[in-house]
Amino acid sequence: MSERRKTPPGDAGVRVRNVQAGDLEAVIAIDAEVTRLRKPDYWAEIHRRYGSGRRQQRFFLVAEAGDGIAGYVIGEVRDWEFGSPRCGWVFAISVRPGARLAGVGSRLLEAICAGFRGLGVTKVRTLLARDNHLVLSFFRSQGMMAAPFIPLELDLGQA
Amino acid sequence: MKLQKNTLYALYGILDSASRPDEQMPTGEIAKTYGVSPHHLAKVLRALVRAGLVESVRGVGGGYRFTGNARRLTLLEVIELFERVGAGDHGVPARRRGRRAEVERALGTVFAEIDEMSRATLRSISIATMLKLIERQRPA
């Protein structure tokens, strides 16, 4: 029997707000559905650092659509990282597969960019694997272009 | 990176027709817009028909109409209908030894890195994204 998928809600039905402790299970479930890995400890730590208390430069937002959480975005303003003047960094964005193609990701990105702008930031950056075609295409569709940085890595081998 | 003429013409055809998906674009009109040979362009457009990206509508007011999915079709997919991106073989034959092999192996590593970046960039940009980019860069 095939799983009955909910019709993706229209863009108008999406509400973006700050994460609440009660949203964490839904966030963990979205991440697990996308990455096939449940990471409750990781998410509890992310919530502690980005989603609770007064975190003026940090954002952990969720999108409500239909009857639940459809996606989330996390980021922060960082000063002089990699020699760059103050800019916003998006380090996680995800939309539940059944809620895609309804503008949820765009609304989340718009909301976090509005938050960055409110802090006087005029540039937003992100970093992702070059074989992550889906999310790369999403960011490109939002107008993002290659940044003037090249990520590098070094294999350290065994200690 | 320099594209072959066929590839460039295909991108002209795809981007032009995708910008007006409800219209049939006559070959002559597209050729005039881009200042290219209509005969050469017609040959390229026929290849795009065979690939299922445009359809040919015959008769008065006929022309080519975009039939692909602009949000899904990427620059890489269009380009690779005509040429390989990053097709260079940067490997060094196993029998080669000595200084030449060492230098070629190291150069191959760098060129393979460039190829991977080129492919990832072209794969991440859809035709719809390109149309937005053209719009954004249009002089006010």
Q: What is the pLDDT of residues A92-101, one digit of tens each?
A: 999 999 988 8
H helices of chain A, where? 24-35, 40-46, 104-118, 133-141
Q: Which of residues 98-127 of B touch A (CB under 8 A)?
A: 116-117, 120-121, 123-126
Note down the domain range covering A94. 14-141
Backbone angles phi, psi at A58, to 5 degrees: -120, 145
Between chains, do B129 and A140 touch, taking CB under 8 Å as contact? yes
Query: What is the reported pLDDT for B2?
Result: 86
Q: How many structural domains is chain A composed of?
A: 1
Confidence of residue A58 (pLDDT cuts 50, 70, 90): very high
Do the domain assignments include residue A146?
A: no
Helices B5-19 + B127-137 axis angle, to 10: 80
Helix or strand (DSSP H, E) at B132: helix B127-137
Nearest to A123, CA basis, from A92, A82, A78: A78
Q: Which fold has domain B5-88+126-137?
A: Arc Repressor Mutant, subunit A (1.10.10)
pLDDT in 10s for each residue of chain B, 140 residues: 789 999 999 999 999 999 999 999 899 999 999 999 999 999 999 999 999 999 998 877 789 999 999 999 999 999 999 999 886 677 777 788 888 888 988 999 899 899 999 999 999 999 999 999 999 998 88
Query: What is the reported pLDDT for A53?
Result: 67
Across the range A36-48, mean pLDDT stands at: 95
> What residues of chain A lie within 8 A of the CB of B136, using their CB?
143
ipTM greater than 0.85: no
> What residues of chain A lie within 8 A of the CB of B133, using their CB?
143
* Pairing outcome for strands A68-78 and A58-65: antiparallel
> What residues of chain A lie within 8 A of the CB of B120, using their CB?
130-131, 136
Q: Which of A135, A137, A150, A152 to mutate to test the interface with B (most CBs of B within 10 A)?
A: A137
Between chains, do A130 and B128 touch, taking CB under 8 Å as contact? no
Q: Which of B115, B124, B129 to mutate to test the interface with A (most CBs of A within 10 A)?
A: B124
Number of residues written out for chain A = 159
Do the domain assignments include residue A30?
A: yes
Do the domain assignments include residue A29?
A: yes
Do the domain assignments include residue A159?
A: no
| Structural domain spans, chain B | 5-88+126-137
Q: What is the pLDDT of residues A101-152, one digit of tens each?
A: 889 999 999 999 999 999 999 999 999 998 999 999 999 999 999 998 888 9
Query: What is the reported pLDDT for A10?
Result: 53
Supply the CATH number for residue A57's domain.
3.40.630.30
Q: Name the residue facing A140 among B117, B124, B136 (closest C-beta).
A: B124
Decide: helix, strand or coil at residue A55: coil
d(CA A146, CA B77): 20
Query: What is the reported pLDDT for B92?
Result: 74
> What residues of chain B lie within 8 A of the CB of A146, using their CB?
121
Do the domain assignments include residue A36?
A: yes
Between chains, do B123 and A136 touch, taking CB under 8 Å as contact? yes
* In chain A, % of residues over pLDDT 70: 91
Query: What is the reported pLDDT for A3?
Result: 37
Confidence of residue A20 (pLDDT cuts 50, 70, 90): very high
